[in-house]
Amino acid sequence: MAKTIIVSNRLPISLRHRNGKFEFKPSAGGLATGLDSIYKSGENIWIGWPGNTVDDAEQRAEIIIELHDLKMAPVFLTKKDVEQFYEGFSNETLWPAFHYFTQYMVYNPDHWDAYVRVNQKFCEAIIKKADPDDTIWVHDYQLMLLPQMLREILPDATIAFFQHIPFPSYEIIRMIPWRKEILEGVCGADLIGFHTYDDMRHFLSAVSRITGMSGESGYIQAENRIINVDSFPMGIDYNKFAKQAKSRKTQNIVKDFRTKVGEQKLIITIDRLDYSKGIPQRIHVFDQLLKQHKELRGKVSMIMIVVPSRDRVQSYKELKEEIDLLVGRINSEYSTLDWVPVHYFYRSFPFEELSAFYSMADIALVTPLRDGMNLVCKEFVASKTDQTGVLVLSEMAGASKELQDAILVNPNDRQGVVDAIYEALSMPEEEQKERITAMQESLKKYDVFQWVKVFMDRIEHVKGKQAELTSK
């Protein structure tokens, strides 16, 4: 029986070195949850990088055995691969380009060579495990060449690709010297998915202008097959968040946190450290709010969780410095002995504590400058089990297309965001409940399991359509 192989740059675990030994830490990310039932069933498997380098051959062999029991197979990256493929081409060329931060783009041919080399490495690892008629589902921008590499070796395999970050306009894609190779790489797939309709449209336009392949109403005509391109907005494990927020454990944490912060209003912000998330801009907004509405001083605090990420990449290092400085500045200006404007945490939190933050927050301020989807805003909504609370959400997040009952803002419009927070702070409870309930209904229906199902069903549909066309 044909099996399904999931491929992503990171495996749903990460490998940590401790006292000369290694240990695995499972990832609780949304994708891992959604795909859990897929890769753990039958002969299916997940292939990817374990998140750390391992030089010792014996240790590698041990890791392979341990991961095998977890239904995973590792692709080992060298230190140079990490520098040039992961930090380099993936996160200093593709990431800034796709998020419209062209000022951070690096054009380094060595990084490009590493990108080709590592995609090839993934291809070889997959070929070792794959049968000719397997389904291979490749995830995200680190592996855009992989679908075509696989297609050349396994012409009859079912190959799907999903991009979790935005796909920008043709005007941006054309700046990348290797744009044609990248688009042709993705077009090795039978089904290509994005979070939003706009991403899909940009992709189709870039493919027809750069590769010359014609694309219309969601289909691209490749040389010998059709490729389906569509949007599939990813959801969350709704019940997991709703259940956790209600749990005694989380409610006890809420009580404890409440005692510590007092009866003030709370605004929560949670992000990976990334310039696409608009973190400094948010601190400026909060500063402006406290300047314009002096009566709010002492009555509202921002809880800002910044999860460390890509800290060896220059633009991320600089961002960390900038945030540290801005938080220092705002807190030193307004703090009193019993109140601080911004509670700033540069670390991750356990799930039950995150749930407590979501549950107790009056407002979630999710204002990325650009975001493929953003799951934080969905997690906040799912955690509001009494239906009070307000979501202030950036129009630049993919999630804004679904969450129309949030207060939608343009994150570049500082006064607009200040006004939105003010509106959120004064919103009547009845209106809060109406908005949260409406958003909960849709998040419950389109959860991450539904997302996986719809995508997998579509793969089958596309294969059927291809067979129909070739038999004509």
Tell me 427's DSSP state: -
Longest Cα–Cα distance of the chain, Å, equals 78
Instruction: State the nearest-atom distance from the C-beta of 16 to ligand G6P, in Å.
Output: 14
Q: Which is nearer to ligand G6P, 85 or 178 (CB)?
A: 85
Closest CA to 173 of 157, 184, 162, 188: 184
Which of 80, 117, 121, 164 binds ligand G6P (CB under 6 A)? It is 164
Instruction: State the nearest-atom distance from the C-beta of 208 to ligand G6P, in Å.
Output: 25
Tell me 438's DSSP state: H
Instruction: State the nearest-atom distance from the C-beta of 148 to ligand G6P, in Å.
Output: 19
3-state secondary structure of 172: helix
Q: Which is nearer to ligand G6P, 27 or 59 (CB)?
A: 27
Burial of 263 (0-12, 13-18, 19+ CB in 10 A): exposed
Asked if 220 interacts with ligand G6P (CB under 6 A), we say no
Phi first, then psi: give them for residue 364, nearest 5 degrees. -105, 130
Q: Which is nearer to ligand G6P, 56 or 318 (CB)?
A: 318
3-state secondary structure of 24: strand
In 335-400, which ranges are continuous DSSP H helix? 351-360, 376-383
Instruction: State the nearest-atom distance from the C-beta of 140 to ligand G6P, in Å.
Output: 4
For residue 394, give both structure tokens.
């950036």
Asked if 140 interacts with ligand G6P (CB under 6 A), we say yes
Q: Which is nearer to ligand G6P, 164 or 209 (CB)?
A: 164
For residue 469, give both structure tokens.
């066309």
SS (H, E, C) 340-409: CCEEEECCCCCHHHHHHHHHHCCEEEECCCCECCCCHHHHHHHHCCCCCCEEEEECCEHHHHCCCCCEEE
- CA pair distance 99, 408, nearest whole angstrom: 19
Phi first, then psi: give them for residue 224, nearest 5 degrees. -130, 15
Q: Which is nearer to ligand G6P, 310 or 463 (CB)?
A: 310
Q: Which is nearer to ligand G6P, 140 or 402 (CB)?
A: 140
Strand partners, 191: 160, 228
Q: Which is nearer to ligand G6P, 111 or 310 (CB)?
A: 310
Asked if 10 interacts with ligand G6P (CB under 6 A), we say yes
Q: Which is nearer to ligand G6P, 91 or 440 (CB)?
A: 91
For residue 472, give both structure tokens.
């004509």
Tell me 397's DSSP state: B
Which residues are CB-contacts of 268 (< 8 A; sequence separation ≥ 6)?
A: 302, 303, 305, 357, 358, 361, 363, 364, 365, 380
Instruction: State the nearest-atom distance from the C-beta of 310 to ligand G6P, in Å.
Output: 5
Instruction: State the nearest-atom distance from the C-beta of 427 to ligand G6P, in Å.
Output: 30
Tell me 347's DSSP state: S
Question: Nearest to ligand G6P by Cβ — which residue?
Answer: 164
Instruction: State the nearest-atom distance from the C-beta of 79 to ligand G6P, in Å.
Output: 16
Asked if 13 interacts with ligand G6P (CB under 6 A), we say no
- CA pair distance 247, 250, nearest whole angstrom: 5
Instruction: State the nearest-atom distance from the C-beta of 91 to ligand G6P, in Å.
Output: 6
Asked if 94 interacts with ligand G6P (CB under 6 A), we say no
- Vertex 232: Cα angle to 226 and 233 (nearest 5): 160
Q: Which is nearer to ligand G6P, 339 or 351 (CB)?
A: 351
Instruction: State the nearest-atom distance from the C-beta of 339 to ligand G6P, in Å.
Output: 34
- CA pair distance 304, 318, nearest whole angstrom: 18
Q: 306-345: which residues touch ligand G6P (CB under 6 A)?
A: 309-310
Which residues are CB-contacts of 272 (< 8 A; sequence separation ≥ 6)?
A: 306, 307, 308, 309
Which of 75, 150, 165, 186 binds ligand G6P (CB under 6 A)? It is 165
Q: Which is nearer to ligand G6P, 164 or 414 (CB)?
A: 164
Instruction: State the nearest-atom distance from the C-beta of 306 to ligand G6P, in Å.
Output: 14
The helix/strand count (H/E) of the chain reads as 18, 17
- CA pair distance 45, 51, nearest whole angstrom: 17
Instruction: State the nearest-atom distance from the C-beta of 163 to ligand G6P, in Å.
Output: 8
Q: Which is nearer to ligand G6P, 164 or 444 (CB)?
A: 164
Q: Which is nearer to ligand G6P, 29 or 42 (CB)?
A: 29
- Which x/- pattern, by CB under 6 A, does the window 15-34 give for ligand G6P? --------------------
**Total chain residues near ligand G6P (CB under 6 A):** 6
Instruction: State the nearest-atom distance from the C-beta of 89 to ligand G6P, in Å.
Output: 13
Phi first, then psi: give them for residue 218, nearest 5 degrees. 85, 0
Which residues are CB-contacts of 104 (< 8 A; sequence separation ≥ 6)?
A: 92, 96, 275, 315
- Chain residues in the site for ligand G6P (CB under 6 A): 10, 140, 164-165, 309-310
